[in-house]
Structure 1
Amino acid sequence: MITSIWKGLINSFEKKYSYGDAIDHYVVVKELGKGSYGTSYLVRDRNTKQRYVLKRLRPYKRFFNNGQNFIEYEASILRNISHSSFPSVFSQGVEGKSPYFVMEYKEGKTFETLVFKDKMCFDEKSSAQIVLKLIKLVGFIHENGYVHRDLRLPNIIWNQEELSIIDFGLCTRIQSTSHIEVHKQKDYMRERAVTSDFYALGHFYLFLLYSCYHDFDLKEKSWEEELDISSRTRQVLRKLLGIEEPYKDYKEIITDLSR
């Protein structure tokens, strides 16, 4: 009850942009998504007609300590780990006292859309190939000293076999390279260690494998009972999810998946 009232107050306080609204020389096409600190819009440059993503700080965050720094921080991370599979930052500004930055719009569909709306089926082989591509991108993030911490279906885009990772709002510097027993942590994906990304990858992998699952048995089972997968795939998943000794480095995962 209290949570619902709080969310209602926050949303009523925030101005929602609609189609045709202008922010500097950008024109809003539609809202793409709303996170805990930022709202993302698909926008079009009024002069070039090029499409971009504009991420604006949610107004209520201005009243929190360091709230204004969220936008600057994410933009700086994207500049620091520049890669063709991550959005490039083009400009920054302030609108209605709320800072924003404009970044590249990545073409394609999120895996959330592919799995739940388009009902695509990814078999064991294609799932492994996708996760192998993805772990190489995650490895690039780790090599630069960061951990993404939000590798979920809505934040991974597929476009003609090419992958992109978006939403670096929770990305942070790696603070621990030591072994972490992921399955004992309260919030697995929020640890500032590489194992948090590996745990998220494990769940991403499971979503792909379940996309072809059609057993309607009402009896509750574990994924190990339900999925008809090889022992090698099972072993990779158990290590990603921290059920067994977790991976310590992304290169170990590449080695296992490449087999």
Structure 2
Amino acid sequence: MVLSLFRRDKQYWPSEQFADYTIEKTIGEGRFGICYLVSDGQKSYILKQLKRAMLKKAGVKVRFEEEILRSLQHESVPRFIKKIEREDFNGYVLEFKEGRTFEDIIYLDKHVFEREEIYRVGRQLVEILKYLHSKSIVHRDIRVPNTLYDGQKVNLVDFGLARWINNEKYRADMDFAFLGDFLLHLYYASFELKGFKKRPWYDELQLHPKELLLLKKLMGVDQRYTSIFEVEHDFYETFEAYQ
């Protein structure tokens, strides 16, 4: 019994068959699970394998992602397809979303985001958050590895830390610092450090006053926004020239 608790989960390799799917490649591995790109011969999907040790340790917390994804219907969020439970596997199949992570686009491609593109990307994230918060869901993990982009459309993935908003431990405004940090990554893609002294972002980035205020309120440097509608209002005012 003790041995089975610590036995490593089976990892699946390209071309291997699993249920009705063929494993194409491993996309990534986190604390709670492993994600694979799979296909059924016609379409591609994401297979998420939940780690048994974490299922035992975290219990019901691991199930929040499944519960929340089942409740969502949004073009920028992967659709829950089905659950798979077997003796040697616990997990589910999700819709495959196109695009590369912003992490790869920024750090591998060295892509520079101009203001107009920052507006287009940010606008989509604000709309996604409006939808999630309207469903009483806080994502809590809007980061460059968890956002996909094909040059036009933004998709938000990895709902492993998402929770139902209760205005106590889980609040909607938790997403605002993540959104601010995400936007800072886009701004810093064009930043060139001059000299050796690193300064706070609000000193070293060349930001317009409205951009500075928006980011400070998202990050909590100034009084943080209390709702996504306040964020939306200031966001559109900040990027008025690009609408």
TM-score scaled by structure 1?
0.84
- Tell me how far 1:57 sits from its aligned partner: 0.7
Q: Say which SS state the counterpart of residue 13 (structure 1) adopts.
A: coil
2:72 and 2:79 in contact (8 A); partners too: no
Partner of 1:119: 110
1:44 to 7, 15, 39: 39
2:64 and 2:163 in contact (8 A); partners too: no
Q: Say which SS state the counterpart of residue 127 (structure 1) adopts.
A: helix
Partner of 2:176: 198
- Tell me how far 1:115 sits from its aligned partner: 0.6
2:17 to 19, 22, 41: 22
Q: Say which SS state the counterpart of residue 75 (structure 1) adopts.
A: helix
1:213 to 181, 186, 191: 191
Q: Say which SS state the counterpart of residue 139 (structure 1) adopts.
A: helix
Counterparts in 2 of 1:55-70, with a 5 A limit?
A: 55-64=48-57, 66=59, 70=62
Partner of 1:89: 80
2-structure distance, mates of 1:24, 1:243 = 50
- Tell me how far 1:65 sits from its aligned partner: 5.4
2:47 to 40, 47, 54: 54
The Cα RMSD (Å) is 1.9
Report the CA distance shift for 1:195/1:65 in structure 2 as closer, same or farther (over 3 A). closer
2-structure distance, mates of 1:211, 1:156 = 16
How many residue pairs are counted as aligned between the two chains? Answer: 233
Q: Once superposed, which parts of structure 1, at least 4 consecutive aligned residues long, lie more than 6 Å away? A: none
Report the CA distance shift for 1:126/1:162 in structure 2 as closer, same or farther (over 3 A). same
1:23 and 1:95 in contact (8 A); partners too: no
Output one character per residue of 1:108-133: Cα deviation in whole Å (capped at 9) or x when no partner. Answer: 11111111111111123321332122
Is it true that 1:257 corresponds to 2:229 in the alignment?
no
1:105 to 96, 113, 118: 96
Partner of 1:247: 225
Letter in structure 2 aligned against 1:18: W
1:124 and 1:229 in contact (8 A); partners too: no
1:172 to 163, 179, 193: 163
1:142 to 109, 115, 133: 133
Output one character per residue of 1:59-110: Cα deviation in whole Å (capped at 9) or x when no partner. Answer: 222432526x72x432221121211111111121124433111011101111
Report the CA distance shift for 1:62/1:251 in structure 2 as closer, same or farther (over 3 A). closer
1:110 and 1:156 in contact (8 A); partners too: yes
1-structure distance, mates of 2:142, 2:104 = 15
Q: Say which SS state the counterpart of residue 226 (structure 2) adopts.
A: coil
- Tell me how far 1:220 sits from its aligned partner: 1.7
1:62 and 1:98 in contact (8 A); partners too: no
2-structure distance, mates of 1:124, 1:160 = 14
2-structure distance, mates of 1:96, 1:15 = 12
Structure 1: give runs of 5+ residues left out of the alignment.
Answer: 1-9, 178-190
Worse overlay, 149-158 or 89-98 = 89-98
Partner of 2:122: 131
